[in-house]
Structure 1
Amino acid sequence: MQIDLNADLGESFGRWSLGDDDAMLEVVTSANVACGFHAGDPTVLRHSCEGAAARGVAIGAQVGYRDLAGFGRRFIDVVPAELTDDVLYQIGALEAFARVAGTRVRYVKPHGALYNAIVHHEEQAAAVVEAVVQYDRSLPVLGLPGSAWLRLAEEAGLTTVGEAFADRAYTPEGRLVSRREPGAVLHEPDEIAQRCVRIATEGELVAVDGSVVPAPAGSLCVHGDSPGAVEIARRVRAGLDAAGVGVSPFAGEPT
């Protein structure tokens, strides 16, 4: 058994510091690095890329809406062609710092409201797919299993990887519970670790109503900005190791 462990990193901005990226990079195998639209500035992006490269952690472009004030968690009804350009811009910005660090952007993962919107928003999902196709067809894309995003990406010939969230509650339909709802984010490290082991070994998880739902995943996401994020990530990694689940990046070096 093998799985990837990813986290959202590079989300500080100027004098505002969020999360402990250096500590998280010692635990995860893939880093979803903000690209400056929802979070991150050039210095933060460079530091994140250098830290990931030094530790052999795969760098992914975490693309989002142009929404610094809302941390990319507000839906924006952007014209599809403009969304394609926004995504291209973000991948290119992160690619520059990844190259300087001696590596490359190795996959693409949408962030926040964009991630949730393209579960069902066909036009925006197609716009993000188009950006990846135009930039580099060899880049895998990461997203929620059953989403329009992964379906359209697969139809376009892209490599798709489903992920599950270690610390987010799920609906009986296999969707993420809105952060506006109580209990949407989990905080107990041992509970989260046990949940991740079940996802990795059995491909399922327990939804908020107690039902068991399928959770096919090639990658597990632990949020870098959650309280106790580093300890949660360490417990998850330790739990996977104890269960005999290997942890490694899903994305190889692009050619």
Structure 2
Amino acid sequence: MPIDINCDMGESMDAFTLEKNEEILDYVTSINIACGYHAGNHTIMHKTVRNAIRKNVLIGAHPGYPDLQGFGRRDMDFSADEIYNMIVYQVGALQAFVSVEKGILHHVKPHGALYNQSANNIEKATAIVNAVYDINPTYVLYCLAGSEMVKIAKKKGLPVYEEVFSDRNYNEDGTLVSRDDANALIQTEEEMFVHVKSILTSNEVMSVQQKRIKISAQTLCIHGDGPHALAYAKKIYELRKQIG
């Protein structure tokens, strides 16, 4: 089965960005909608849900830390109970908008610092897995390929899509290079193309330490807030069709 292409959306109030993101829907197979904590609001959530249903794109919730100022990318210290509750709260909000539009919520993907901190932290990962399972055990959890969260979710019986990133660099242990690092993002379309082609054809990425690492995944992420998001989406869409 061809790899799923997902995109983070509903993260901007800017009219131009919203229009650009709507065009991206033609080149992805699933989206992750911000739930108001790190970005977005009730109006943007509803509009994005409607657009996704109209374009027949799978819908996921994208819950993050309560950090509008830092776009959810600042590390925060919350207990497992607090993380459980913030996941239930945010997913429940998006679930309601999907329900009123007669759609189906497909998955949950944590955002930003919450995603990174919980990937290999057993306590935080377990809190997220339990929250998603308790909301609906058929929802797919999108999480970092090869992470502890993958193991915890599978042991719980929760469906999982292991995720790789089209525009992020990797360390040799399979973790993402920190966004605090100048080398966190892949900067050019040419580099992105080589990176994604390696994932799709060989299940490999080249780490920043110049070591090839195996990486198996069912979904590939495009960051919707990136300056090259639409161009990357089009390129990846065509590459995915060619490879099949």
TM-score (norm 1): 0.91
Q: Distance in 1 between matches of 2:163 and 2:85?
A: 25
Bigger helix share? 2
Contact 1:195 1:205 in 2 (8 A): yes
Q: Distance in 1 between matches of 2:54 and 2:197?
A: 28
Contact 1:196 1:240 in 2 (8 A): no
Aligned residue identity for 1:180: D
Aligned to 1:76: 76
Aligned residue identity for 1:70: G
Contact 1:190 1:235 in 2 (8 A): no
Q: Percent identity at matched positions?
A: 37
Q: Distance in 2 between matches of 1:190 and 1:214?
A: 21
Aligned residue identity for 1:91: V
* Greater relative contact order (CA < 8 Å, ≥ 6 in sequence): 1
Structure 1's consecutive aligned runs of 4 or more residues displaced over 3 angstroms after TM superposition are 15-19
Aligned to 2:181: 181
Aligned to 1:63: 63
Q: Distance in 2 between matches of 1:186 and 1:143?
A: 20
SS in 1 for 2:162: strand
Aligned to 1:39: 39
Aligned to 2:168: 168
Q: Distance in 2 between matches of 1:87 and 1:34?
A: 12
Question: What are the superposed Cα offsets for residues 107-132 of structure 1, whole Å, 9 maximum, x if unpaired?
Answer: 11110001000122211111111111
Aligned to 2:131: 131
Aligned to 1:249: none
> Residues 17 and 40 from structure 1, CA distance in 2 versus in 1: closer, same or farther, beyond 3 angstroms?
farther
Aligned residue identity for 2:62: Q
In structure 1, runs of 5+ residues without a counterpart are 246-255
Q: Distance in 1 between matches of 2:187 and 2:242?
A: 21
Q: Distance in 1 between matches of 2:238 and 2:16?
A: 27
Question: What are the superposed Cα offsets for residues 29-63 of structure 1, whole Å, 9 maximum, x if unpaired?
Answer: 00011111111101100111001000110001111
- Say how many residue pairs are matched: 243
> Residues 155 and 17 from structure 1, CA distance in 2 versus in 1: closer, same or farther, beyond 3 angstroms?
farther
TM-score (norm 2): 0.95
Contact 1:38 1:70 in 2 (8 A): yes
SS in 2 for 1:180: coil
Note the 1:185-200 alignment, pairs <5 A.
185-200=185-200
Contact 1:8 1:34 in 2 (8 A): yes
1:16 Cα shift? 8.2
Calculate the aligned-residue CA RMSD, in Å: 1.5
> Residues 17 and 134 from structure 1, CA distance in 2 versus in 1: closer, same or farther, beyond 3 angstroms?
farther
